[in-house]
Homo-oligomer: A and B are copies of this chain.
């Protein structure tokens, strides 16, 4: 069970965008450069966030990405499912209905005990990520950062943020 690197990248990029002033955005190339990761792969994650309505993409010469909703309304669950999709991690293929002692379909109206346990575990996982918004992430980054580091980030944003057309 693996979560793709794209989720990590998208979460960091979204947290950085929460620090943008209103009306400003960042190009995918700048987001990639800030995080030291390949541009095309970061662009792919931004397209997925855009498709999921998490970021707004302004196209053209004055193009760039900004958050499409307040940072407090975007959770890590939103970011993860934008990248990974919403398919449950555990897929029940109803193998209890197979073979010489296969259960009849009418005996299988309740979820199989194994699927039920995995889906309950996944719900707990989801609940945790739904409780963490970009505001909490950004607050965590600020708490862990030195004043010098925060000043550098502010200057970088000032230099790189584009006025969205």
Contact = CB atoms under 8 A, between A and B. Distances in A.
Interface residues of A, number: 65
A90 B3 contact: yes
A145 B108 CA distance: 9
Contacts of A121: 76, 124-126, 128-129
Contacts of A102: 36
Contact of A1 (B89, B99, B114, B140): B89
B128 A117 contact: yes
A163 interface: no
Given A114-B76, A125-B124, A8 B96 contact: no
20 contacts: A1-B1, A1-B89, A2-B91, A3-B90, A35-B99, A36-B98, A37-B98, A76-B114, A76-B117, A76-B118, A100-B156, A103-B145, A110-B144, A113-B137, A113-B144, A116-B140, A117-B132, A117-B137, A121-B124, A124-B127
